[in-house]
Structure 1
Amino acid sequence: MQDPFYHKEKRRKKTRMLAADAWLDSALYDFFQSLGRGYTNMQDFSSRFRVYGIRRLFVEILSDGLSFFAIGCVLMAGLALPAFDATATGHFNKAEDIAVTFLDRYGNEIGRRGIRSDDSYPLDKLPDYFVKAALATEDRRFYDHWGIDPIGTLRALMSNAQGENSTQGGSSITQQLAKNLFLSSERTLERKIKEAFLAVWLEWHYSKDEILKLYFDRAYMGGGNFGAAAAAEFYFGKKITDVNLAEAAMLAGLFKAPTKYAPHVDIAAARARANLVLSNLVDAGFLTEGQVTAARRNPATPIDRSAEANSPNYFLDYAFDQAKAIIEASGSTSNTYVVRTTVDPVLQSYAEDAVTSVVREQGEAYKVSQAAMVVLEPNGAIRAMVGGMDYGKSQFNRAIVPNRQPGSAFKLFDYATAFEMIPEYDPDTIVSGATQCIGNWCPQNYSRNSVGRISLISAFQQSINTVPVNLSIKTGRQPIADFAHKIGLTNDFPVTRSLALGAASVSVIDMASSYAVFANHGYKTPAFGITRITTLRGDPIFEAEPDANRERVVSDQTVRYMNRMMRAVVENGTGRRALIDGVPAVGKTGTTSSYRDAWFCGFTGNYVAAVWFGNDDYQATNKLTGGTLPTTAWQKFMAYAHTNIEIKPVEGVDFQPAPFVIANAAPAEGQPALPAIERPPGLKPGAADKLLAVADMLKSALGGSSSEASLAVAPAPATPAKSL
């Protein structure tokens, strides 16, 4: 019999459990009832704001607008981060504290760089009419906007659309200063976005007067001058504080197009521009017509700077950077220096003409807008450098920045590596041209046709893609990259499976240095542009020794093999437009995928030159190949450069240069005197245009006959070349 106490305790526990269950059920019921009543109350409350009809349309627009605004804020923050990274260090693009005078290879002055100690004046010391002229021309609402001027931008766009010759641009002064302080001059959408954010940052951190002062000190004013004070000294031989109204108007007209309107380049254009600036002063209400009348009647007259009009500005920027590094390493405390350079002003002038004339005449057809060229002697001395079409519009030096792919011009490294690593290979070695896939990547030839067995020289001559890829499989891709770095490429690039076809970022100057190794008998040939640096008092700082510590980086046999193969490219391959009568020209063409870059790199026994054509925004050209415009520009330059000089042979090339006859030399007894041979002058672009216009008129007058009125600058090949 069980204990009664046990049954009583059991009933008590059961009762407590039933009570707990009842409480839980009741609580849950009450909670959900309260939740339902709360939801009903919320619906009743919200129903008071429910709108119908046309009002609902506005509510929906507002709601969507707030959503898009939130998305836009996140997007703007993402775009702003790269721009504000430029301000993180707290440093601007350095304002130079040294002055350098540059001399060419013959000792003649070709330009200056650096900011002089007297190149900065307080804003209140500058002539009032100069400040007003700059504001009226560049940014009339400067003191009213917040860094970006939508009204001014819209006004400029409308003027451009109507074809008006407006002197007021779309970028505010703050935006232009942001570019000068933090960014490069590369014309890309990314740079414009950064520029806009940095303009707002400047407005937050600096007063309007401080921004204007920095702008006057940093703006490029043509002739290699940075800052209004330096420009006043250069153009008028006086301090900025002493310029008159006519001179101030001419200076203010330089900010947007310093090369086009520089008075030492085109005085008529400079005066026309200054007259428009004076009109802007009147339109903006800063001066009256009566106040500017005297300036209109007596326009500014600059100092004669004709000898400096064609300064090699891209080269001077490059040489200035090199000089600063050398001076800093030397520990010199002087403020002024004289730098003797390697540049040849005659060759520089024709290099510029060769590149610009080709782009001017055929660039539109091929949809190409930019080009660059570097010319070296076989020992690496830079004789000419062209960094773009117009230094005044863009100081971005396309000749030295390693941001373009070389295409088939890179095959020099593929074949040379194979010759160095596989002793049994020579140009006549037969190899397989069949496509070998690397993973899921199967390279194709330019013609889209496959080839069977083919000699190395024929594959190189025809720019076959499958052969160098097959060679890279045999030698390995890393040895090719190591070889390229060893002989001249200075920037790092990923070693990818498409490296053999030129999938690497290179610079024009590095490609010229690399090809120069084969012109210099296999010795390393880094490009250099400075031979001597002294202080203004003559104290030596630096003396170049290009032949000291010569390092052989390519075997003599490989040099002969590669030179023979590059000669085949020019004689019967993709580079036939590079042929020069009486000169052993060799080289290699290059074209990248989608026709974004076109190259020709080559040399003679006298000079090495690399030429690049393309667009700054990487836009594809109209099927431009290395065998067309780049080779044409290269040939134009080389044909001129080899006039009236001794033609040197190229190692490994079976070619006998024409004998060199010294002009005006005394004739042998009984022989008639030889006529003097003079180097023909190069035509400037403007002169060439005028001659072509005259030719057109002659053709019309002669009934369409072209033979009497044709103008030939350089010989063209008999057969067009299809190339890579």
Structure 2
Amino acid sequence: MSTSGRKPKRLVADRRYPKKPVAKPKPKSAPRRKKKVARKQRRGLLGWIAAFFGWIFRLVFKLTVSAAIVAALIIGGAVIYVQSTLPEFETLLDGRARGSVTLLDRDGDVFAMRGDQFGGIVTADSVSPHLKNAVIASEDKRFYRHFGVSPRGIASAIRINMREGRGPLQGHGGSTITQQTSKLLCLGVVYDPAEWEDEKAYIQDCRRTSLSRKAKEAIHSMAMEAKYGKEQILSIYLNRAYMGGGAYGAEAAARRYFSKSAATLNPAESAMIAGLLTAPTRLAPTSNLQRSQDRAATVLRLMNEQGYLSDDETKFYQDNPAILSNEAETQTGGYFADWVMQSGPDFFTQDTTEDVVIRTTLDQRIQAATEAAVRKVFEEKVREGSKAQVGVVVMSADGAVRGMVGGRRTNVSGVFNRATQAVRQTGSAFKPFVYATALELGYSPLDVVIDEPFCMNIPGSGKWCPENYTNRFEGRVTLTEALKHSLNVPAVKVSESVGRDLVLRVARDFGIVRELQDTPALALGASEATLLEMTGAYAGILNGGSSVTPYGLIELRLRGEQDPLMGSGGGIGERVIQQGAAQQLIWMMEQVVSDGTGRRAALPGRPAAGKTGTSQEARDAWFIGFTADYVTGVWMGYDDNTPLQGVTGGGLPADIWQEVMLRVHDGLPERPLPLLEPQKPAPVPQPAPAPKQQQAPKRGGAVAETVLQQLLRDILGGN
């Protein structure tokens, strides 16, 4: 069949569904540029402004997110780096820069502590739970919820500082316990003597506050959180924090204030220790117990608010605050402790890196009696508003110091000590050394000297005429009477007659180590000395004429060791004058107290000897004396050398001396002084009348005398 040349149709199935109609194409929209132009034309000015701020917002948002990401990366990298440099936890628990010094009295009881006291390592789990809760409640209540830094705490601190008119970083810091611990670690910087002038400068640099310092502190704190964890950080803090009274760490503070372990502290004691962390020196209970108790009451309230204590427990412990233990309360002898620390070797006292124990000569009973006596006299006999100061030293005849007060503030430390540091004119308290020299050369206390107007020509100074305090002259007097009434002219005459060089030597040998003036005024105490030196020199007279070196240290050893590293550096030394001369001098000085210028120092029923002293223009007033048991020296004066008004050595210093010695000797049996009363020369027998041609010529009717007496009279101006 023919197809007539056309192609055959394809064989396909019929469409089962009808074909969808083809949609008509939409008309082309206007160009996008023209649409935007039209929209802008419709916006107007407000549209422009809205569009501009929208752009700014999008830009700032993008920059902030980018900056936050970059900052997070930088901080994260810094935290990771710092974390890698942190030492192991155990090495951070005892971070003291120096060791401690514990001072024991003559009976072996603790009376003072110096240096950095450390009672031993504790952990957050080993201390009392009350202490742990008190620290968290008062220092960082969100401690277990932050990552080392508390933004809320910082914001709150800045708001409080600004409201109180301070700078944002001045005052409240908003620091977490972790940040405080980081600061205690000095952000990981170790003390280097080559970089800092001294340790004090290093500590000040560690406590410096600035934005850069705060940033470093935050990074270091976060690194600590990543490295150690909460309990270990709290343990470091409880071991390193200073808690007043020289105590570093919770264990040292618990033993310092309550004589117990930190594991056994009750809520009141825990609150008191936790309260010290804000201002440990000012709030220390040994400085001001009431202030410390008030702060503890606030800590107890915070513990109650945070659920650590019930209402009843809080009220009970607020009504029954913690008090010092008997051992802590009776610690005394601040001046004495400072002196011992200064007199020992620096590498075992001031700069020790070890824990040292020093046994001393201090008698706490005598120390307390001395302090009480000083307070009583100043309260009852010194005019109100007076700035006069005082120094008192009590020692045994071998130079062992038993008590010391270096100022009107009796139980303090770290202040100027007038008993050991004040170098003052001795006045007539120096005269016993003049008469000691004369007695050593064979003079008798009963030898005669003439108290009369007397002048000397001093090369380079001209004419010098000493006068007595009373402006009167007594004529012929014995050496004893001259000392008893503190007459000046006889003292100068005796000094010049025996040889001023010998007087200088005797004074130096007895322990006056200062430069002594080699002038006639030496006999009147124109030279200077400390109270400790003068008291030690008088101890040499009491012990029979041998020099002594005042001392307070008996032995020094390391804590935990039994064998001492060093012993006493003082005691009785070489003989200065013969025992007989010393005993005669004691007899003369006993006359000073019983019937002379020192009568106000007399002790009822107990023999005593001593000497008053008043320097030029009454700038210094002294009384130094002794019984058979103890030697005590008292000095009064003004720190700026202002003359005393109406005060001489026989006045208030004698009153203080008497009050001290009455208390010191309370309960002690009476003992006689080791004195030697001189024998009056026997009258020379008159020969029987001889024939006129055999009688010797008369000597002006004068009574015959001993050769020594005649020699003395000739030298000193007698007829």
Deviation at 1:128, TM superposition (A): 12
Which SS does the other structure have where 1:498 is aligned? Answer: helix
Show the counterpart of 1:113.
Answer: 114
Q: Is the 8 A contact 2:622 2:649 kept in 1?
A: yes
Show the counterpart of 2:338.
Answer: 317
Query: Which shows bigger deviation, 388-397 or 353-362?
Result: 388-397
Show the counterpart of 2:670.
Answer: 647
Which SS does the other structure have where 2:632 is aligned? Answer: strand
Alignment CA distance shift 1:267-1:562 (3 Å): same
Q: Distance in 2 between matches of 1:479 and 1:493?
A: 12
Q: Distance in 2 between matches of 1:108 and 1:118?
A: 17
Aligned with 1:360 (options 370, 375, 379): 379
Deviation at 1:496, TM superposition (A): 4.3
Aligned with 1:395 (options 404, 415, 419): 415
Alignment CA distance shift 1:365-1:207 (3 Å): closer
Aligned counterparts, 1:156-235, within 5 A: 208-209=208-209, 221-222=244-245, 234-235=256-257
Q: Distance in 1 between matches of 2:287 and 2:589?
A: 41
1:480 aligns with 2:503: yes
Alignment CA distance shift 1:480-1:385 (3 Å): same
Show the counterpart of 1:419.
Answer: 439
Q: Distance in 1 between matches of 2:168 and 2:448?
A: 74
Deviation at 1:264, TM superposition (A): 4.5
1:602 aligns with 2:625: yes
Q: Distance in 2 between matches of 1:598 and 1:433?
A: 25
Deviation at 1:468, TM superposition (A): 1.7
Show the counterpart of 2:563.
Answer: 539
Q: Distance in 2 between matches of 1:426 and 1:96?
A: 60
Show the counterpart of 2:661.
Answer: 638
Aligned counterparts, 1:130-149, within 5 A: none
Show the counterpart of 1:372.
Answer: 391
Q: Is the 8 A contact 1:96 1:114 kept in 2?
A: no
Deviation at 1:505, TM superposition (A): 2.3
Q: Is the 8 A contact 2:391 2:531 kept in 1?
A: yes
Aligned with 2:355 (options 323, 336, 340): 336
TM-score normalized with structure 2 length: 0.56
Deviation at 1:207, TM superposition (A): 7.4
What does the per-residue CA deviation read over 1:442-466, in whole Å, with 9 as the maximum and x for residues that have no partner? Answer: 3221112234332211111111122
1:514 aligns with 2:561: no
Show the counterpart of 2:427.
Answer: 407
1:623 aligns with 2:624: no
TM-score normalized with structure 1 length: 0.56
Deviation at 1:602, TM superposition (A): 0.5
Amino acid at match of 1:409: A
What does the per-residue CA deviation read over 1:284-307, in whole Å, with 9 as the maximum and x for residues that have no partner? Answer: xxxx9xxxxx99976695563322
Alignment CA distance shift 1:581-1:324 (3 Å): same
Aligned counterparts, 1:297-308, within 5 A: 301-302=321-322, 304-308=324-328
Deviation at 1:102, TM superposition (A): 1.9
Amino acid at match of 2:365: V
Show the counterpart of 2:364.
Answer: 345
Q: Is the 8 A contact 2:243 2:284 kept in 1?
A: no
Which SS does the other structure have where 2:379 is aligned? Answer: helix
Q: Distance in 2 between matches of 1:209 and 1:430?
A: 74
What does the per-residue CA deviation read over 1:493-519, in whole Å, with 9 as the maximum and x for residues that have no partner? Answer: 443443222222211111111000111
Alignment CA distance shift 1:511-1:431 (3 Å): same
What does the per-residue CA deviation read over 1:537-581, in whole Å, with 9 as the maximum and x for residues that have no partner? Answer: 212223449778x52111223212211111111011111112112
Q: Is the 8 A contact 1:253 1:277 kept in 2?
A: no
Amino acid at match of 1:419: L
Point out where structure 2 has 5 or more consecutive residues left out of the alignment. 1-95, 122-134, 141-152, 171-197, 218-239, 306-310, 679-719
Amino acid at match of 2:415: Q
Query: Which shows bigger deviation, 491-500 or 346-355?
Result: 491-500
Alignment CA distance shift 1:343-1:327 (3 Å): same
Q: Distance in 1 between matches of 2:349 and 2:288?
A: 38
Deviation at 1:487, TM superposition (A): 0.6
Q: Is the 8 A contact 1:431 1:456 kept in 2?
A: no
Amino acid at match of 2:563: D
Q: Is the 8 A contact 2:425 2:615 kept in 1?
A: yes
Amino acid at match of 2:341: F
Q: Distance in 2 between matches of 1:249 and 1:388?
A: 31
Show the counterpart of 1:668.
Answer: none
Q: Is the 8 A contact 2:449 2:490 kept in 1?
A: no
Show the counterpart of 2:181.
Answer: none
Deviation at 1:116, TM superposition (A): 4.0
Deviation at 1:383, TM superposition (A): 1.4
What does the per-residue CA deviation read over 1:591-648, in whole Å, with 9 as the maximum and x for residues that have no partner? Answer: 2223222111011111111111222233332221111221112112222333333333
Alignment CA distance shift 1:481-1:250 (3 Å): same
Q: Is the 8 A contact 2:429 2:624 kept in 1?
A: yes
Q: Is the 8 A contact 1:366 1:622 kept in 2?
A: no
Deviation at 1:202, TM superposition (A): 11
What does the per-residue CA deviation read over 1:356-385, in whole Å, with 9 as the maximum and x for residues that have no partner? Answer: 211122222693532121111112211111
Which SS does the other structure have where 2:515 is aligned? Answer: coil
Q: Distance in 2 between matches of 1:337 and 1:370?
A: 33
Q: Distance in 2 between matches of 1:359 and 1:277?
A: 39
Q: Distance in 1 between matches of 2:168 and 2:388?
A: 37
Aligned with 2:480 (options 457, 469, 472): 457
Q: Is the 8 A contact 2:510 2:547 kept in 1?
A: yes
The alignment yields a C-alpha RMSD, in angstroms, of 5.1
Q: Is the 8 A contact 2:242 2:280 kept in 1?
A: no
What does the per-residue CA deviation read over 1:28-57, in whole Å, with 9 as the maximum and x for residues that have no partner? Answer: xxxxxxxxxxxxxxxxxxxxxxxxxxxxxx
What does the per-residue CA deviation read over 1:254-287, in whole Å, with 9 as the maximum and x for residues that have no partner? Answer: 646xxxx752476335435778999xxxxxxxxx
Q: Distance in 2 between matches of 1:611 and 1:522?
A: 21
Aligned counterparts, 1:678-697, within 5 A: none
Q: Is the 8 A contact 1:263 1:270 kept in 2?
A: yes
Q: Distance in 2 between matches of 1:345 and 1:435?
A: 49
Q: Is the 8 A contact 2:99 2:352 kept in 1?
A: no
Q: Is the 8 A contact 1:359 1:368 kept in 2?
A: no
Alignment CA distance shift 1:447-1:554 (3 Å): same
Which SS does the other structure have where 1:112 is aligned? Answer: strand
Q: Distance in 1 between matches of 2:604 and 2:242?
A: 47
What does the per-residue CA deviation read over 1:125-163, in whole Å, with 9 as the maximum and x for residues that have no partner? Answer: x9997799xx999xx9998999xxxxxxxxxxxxxxxxx
Q: Is the 8 A contact 2:104 2:357 kept in 1?
A: yes
Alignment CA distance shift 1:351-1:335 (3 Å): same
Q: Distance in 1 between matches of 2:291 and 2:676?
A: 50
Amino acid at match of 1:398: R
Which SS does the other structure have where 1:321 is aligned? Answer: helix
1:614 aligns with 2:637: yes
Amino acid at match of 1:208: R
Show the counterpart of 1:5.
Answer: none
Deviation at 1:473, TM superposition (A): 3.0
Show the counterpart of 1:383.
Answer: 402
Point out where structure 1 has 5 or more consecutive residues left out of the alignment. 1-94, 121-125, 147-197, 279-287, 289-293, 656-724
Q: Distance in 2 between matches of 1:537 and 1:425?
A: 55
Show the counterpart of 1:267.
Answer: 289
Deviation at 1:587, TM superposition (A): 0.2
Q: Distance in 2 between matches of 1:508 and 1:461?
A: 21
Q: Is the 8 A contact 2:360 2:552 kept in 1?
A: yes
Q: Distance in 2 between matches of 1:394 and 1:545?
A: 23
Q: Distance in 1 between matches of 2:166 and 2:109?
A: 43
Which SS does the other structure have where 1:599 is aligned? Answer: strand
